Structure 1
Amino acid sequence: MFDINNLSLFILSVFLLSVTPGPDMAYVVGQSIANARRAGVISAAGVALGSFSHALASVVGLTALIAASPLMFTLVKYIGALYLIYLGGSLILGTFGRARSETGNDADVKKDASPYDLLSKGFVTTLMNPKVLLFFVSFFPQFVTPGGEHHTVSLLVLGLTYALVAFLTDVAFAILAGSAVGSITGNRSLQKLMDRVVGGVFIALGIRLALIRP
């Protein structure tokens, strides 16, 4: 029914991205520490809603490009490939410089925040980041068979899968906020290793995307 290929690679890539310390994790973990685990779970739901909104927007845009101009879609494909390679290279090069500052201390955390505040803040924070949309546009196409009959549905399924994997990962970190997260964000060597692994994956995916033929 679907035109999805390499779903296992897609899920693995999403998981690696999700466990890498960043703004979304910092927000979820910070709320979990400040306002208990339930707050972290609600915050993770807000982030997931924002991610799926970006995924939905990318599906609409990609579908329109495919219908309107195969040439334009090819151009976007190569731009997306370069963007993934750039992201991967930045992550790897960053491990040779100063330590990243994306820790829980940078998150916008309020004590005794309401469930609505937690949900909406996570949603808006992710939704207002244009880099997330650009990432989705460059990331999704390589996992869908070009010219398939169910291209749009397949992209939507990938968007839901992305949001679900990211949500479950964030929830796990929210529950283990005091221990598991500290071992990652507080261990510079482990964090560098994770950044290099994820960076390598992004570069490989960028090259793979560039080599896809319609």
Structure 2
Amino acid sequence: MPDAYHLLLFVLAGWLLNVTPGPDVLYIVTNSLRGGWKSGVVAGLGITAGCFVHIFAAALGMGALLADSETAFTVLKWIGAAYLLWIGGKILLARAAPATTDLQAAALSRPLPSSKEIFLGGFWTNVLNPKVVLFFLAFLPQFISPETTGKTSVFLALGVLFNVNSIPVNAGWAIAAAWMARRPVVQRGMHWLDKLAGSMFIVFGVRLALVDRPGA
């Protein structure tokens, strides 16, 4: 394992990366705005579960396969892009809740997804993004000394640490979004926030579809 100094740098770098907005953060915020902080936390846990898949895949060599195989990367990329586009379209086409300043009443007027659906949505949003496994493949080895024995075990340990450290950051996004949802100005603009979120998911989907395999 890295020494205390480099381990601290690793933790800080992980937090900064998790704070950066992207499809995962958008998914957490969207669910918190619509269903409260608990929905956002569940969304974050689903994303964390997806990250574990990428960590173990990278450790077992799947990351190297995606980095080397244009076909494998492209197939997963298009599946992930289609999934993000589907989420965005679903949000955009959803019927607007009746105009009201009572967010709970608005939520009751439009069925919200179950915790299981939210969790699985976060899971697949993360798992179907090939850039995540390539990120771990590029990021984690920077904190593993060439002289380290048992590099795979250290890689897994750092991946687990990165993932565990992301939980409070994701929870922070969920709580902040839920707090914002209680503001009257936000409640009045929920319909437009839904449209914005749906549009952003579509943008992320298009960006993922256009991304090239690193080194291609």
Compute the TM-score of the two structures, normalised by the length of structure 1.
0.57
Once residues 190 and 66 of structure 2 are traced to their aligned partners in structure 1, the CA distance between those partners, rounded to angstroms, is 46
For 1:169, what is the secondary structure of its paired residue?
helix
Rg larger in 1 or in 2? 2
1:198 to 185, 197, 201: 201
Q: Does 1:163 align with 2:159?
A: no
Once residues 49 and 18 of structure 2 are traced to their aligned partners in structure 1, the CA distance between those partners, rounded to angstroms, is 22
How much has 1:125 moved relative to structure 2? 6.0
Once residues 60 and 198 of structure 1 are traced to their aligned partners in structure 2, the CA distance between those partners, rounded to angstroms, is 26
How much has 1:200 moved relative to structure 2? 0.3
Identical counterparts, % of pairs: 12
Compute the TM-score of the two structures, normalised by the length of structure 2.
0.57
* Partner residue in 2 for 1:78: 74
Deviations 1:155-206 (A, max 9, x none): 546534653332111111333443269537x532332123112320232134
For 2:85, what is the secondary structure of its paired residue?
helix
How much has 1:82 moved relative to structure 2? 0.8
How much has 1:66 moved relative to structure 2? 3.2
Structure 2: any 5+ residue segments left out of the alignment?
1-5, 98-105, 145-154
* Partner residue in 2 for 1:207: 210
Once residues 76 and 62 of structure 1 are traced to their aligned partners in structure 2, the CA distance between those partners, rounded to angstroms, is 14
* Partner residue in 2 for 1:55: 51
Once residues 95 and 147 of structure 1 are traced to their aligned partners in structure 2, the CA distance between those partners, rounded to angstroms, is 33
Contact kept in structure 2, 1:56 and 1:156, CA below 8 Å: yes
* Partner residue in 1 for 2:191: 188
Once residues 89 and 66 of structure 1 are traced to their aligned partners in structure 2, the CA distance between those partners, rounded to angstroms, is 25
Q: Does 1:11 align with 2:20?
A: yes
**Distance of aligned partners of 1:163 and 1:99 in 2 relative to their CA distance in 1, 3 Å threshold:** farther
**Distance of aligned partners of 1:9 and 1:162 in 2 relative to their CA distance in 1, 3 Å threshold:** closer
Once residues 9 and 171 of structure 1 are traced to their aligned partners in structure 2, the CA distance between those partners, rounded to angstroms, is 15
Instruction: Note the 1:35-114 alignment, pairs <5 A.
Output: 40=37, 48-66=44-62, 70=65, 74=69, 76-94=72-90, 97-99=93-95, 104-105=107-108, 106-107=111-112
For 1:80, the aligned partner's letter is: L
**Distance of aligned partners of 1:203 and 1:153 in 2 relative to their CA distance in 1, 3 Å threshold:** farther
Deviations 1:113-135 (A, max 9, x none): xxxxxxxxx6x6655x2x54333
